[in-house]
């Protein structure tokens, strides 16, 4: 079975500070991992993905994520948070046995305070 | 064009009404999805169409009826809904599984549905 977990319901950070949103995965085989962001009353927007290759993945809006196989983690990071980064963030994994299926984490609300 | 469009943006309906949600994409994607999302929760998969055929139905009640008229369009027909069906309904698309693509899903902005 494939799954992802986001251990924090909410993350608070001050503007200008680095931010980390955590995600761990459980998959049998190679994981295909994604991060999405959702602003209020909007659809999900794709940020970045890990398929294979470099463990540090760079994405949209200055976000990056670090794939760590030994810790089965795929944490989202940004060196300097903006107030406009405040949103709901979802980690997701693609089912390698049913390629049309994606599993989402429970979501983490990021609050960036000025 | 990397956009998924959904209409209407908002919909209020009574429990005896029949209405439809519409979704459209022109990215050549062959997989299209319906999700239901409650506030501050992750999207819950309802249906997947792959190459215009229903490939996944996540035990959704029959008052929700999906339809895929062609590779660009996806509809969700609603009938005799319950107040607990009120939610944000999201459409998404991605490259088909025959491509063995590892690409992401593209989401529409959603339809905010309220059932009275």
Over the stretch B54-104, which tens digit does the pLDDT of each residue have?
999 999 999 999 999 999 999 999 999 999 999 999 999 998 777 666 789
Cα→Cα distances A12→A42, A82, A83, A112, Å: 21, 12, 11, 6
Confidence of residue A30 (pLDDT cuts 50, 70, 90): confident
Confidence of residue A45 (pLDDT cuts 50, 70, 90): very high
Q: Determine contact: A25 vs chain B, CB below 8 A.
A: no
Determine how many CB atoms are found less than 10 A away from the CB of residue A38.
Answer: 23
Burial of A114 (0-12, 13-18, 19+ CB in 10 A): exposed
CB contact under 8 A, A41 and B4: no
Give the mean pLDDT of B5-21. Answer: 95
Q: Which residues of A touch B103 (CB under 8 A)?
A: 49
Average predicted confidence (pLDDT) for chain A: 94
Average predicted confidence (pLDDT) for chain B: 93
What local confidence, expressed as pLDDT, does residue A113 receive? 97
What local confidence, expressed as pLDDT, does residue B100 receive? 67
CB contact under 8 A, B108 and A99: no
What local confidence, expressed as pLDDT, does residue B1 receive? 64
Taking the CA of residue B42 and the nearest CA in chain A, the distance in Å comes to 5
Give the bridge partners for B94, in sequence order.
Answer: B31
| pLDDT of A93 strictly over 70 | yes
Confidence of residue A46 (pLDDT cuts 50, 70, 90): very high
**DSSP characters over A21-54:** E--EEE-SSS--EEEEEE-TTS-EEEEEEE-SS-
Q: Searching chain B, which residue's CA lies closest to the CA of residue A44?
A: B107
What local confidence, expressed as pLDDT, does residue B43 receive? 96
What local confidence, expressed as pLDDT, does residue A2 receive? 86
CB contact under 8 A, A44 and B43: yes
| pLDDT of A23 strictly over 70 | yes
Token readout for A15 is: 């503007």
Q: Which helix (H) or strand (E) covers residue B49, if one does?
A: strand B44-50
């Amino acid at each position: 079975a494939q799954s992802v977990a986001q251990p924090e319901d909410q993350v608070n950070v001050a503007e200008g500070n680095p931010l980390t949103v955590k995600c761990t995965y459980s998959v049998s085989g190679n994981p295909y991992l994604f991060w999405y962001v959702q602003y209020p009353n909007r659809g999900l927007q794709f940020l970045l993905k890990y398929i294979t290759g470099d463990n540090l993945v760079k994405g949209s809006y200055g976000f990056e994520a670090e794939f760590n196989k030994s810790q089965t983690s795929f944490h989202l990071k940004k060196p300097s948070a903006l107030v406009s980064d405040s949103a709901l963030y979802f980690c997701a994994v693609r089912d390698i046995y049913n390629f049309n299926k994606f599993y989402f984490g429970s979501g983490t609300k990021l609050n960036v305070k000025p | 064009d990397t956009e998924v469009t959904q209409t209407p943006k908002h919909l209020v309906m009574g429990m005896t009404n029949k209405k439809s949600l519409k979704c459209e994409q022109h990215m050549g994607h062959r997989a299209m999805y319906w999700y239901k999302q409650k506030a501050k929760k992750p999207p819950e998969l309802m249906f997947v169409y792959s190459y215009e055929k229903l490939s996944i139905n996540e035990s959704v009640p029959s008052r929700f009826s999906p339809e895929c008229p062609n590779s660009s369009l996806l509809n969700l027909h609603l009938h005799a809904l319950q107040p607990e069906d009120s939610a944000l309904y999201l459409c998404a698309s991605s490259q088909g599984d025959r491509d063995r693509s590892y690409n992401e899903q593209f989401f529409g902005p959603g339809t905010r549905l309220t059932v009275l």
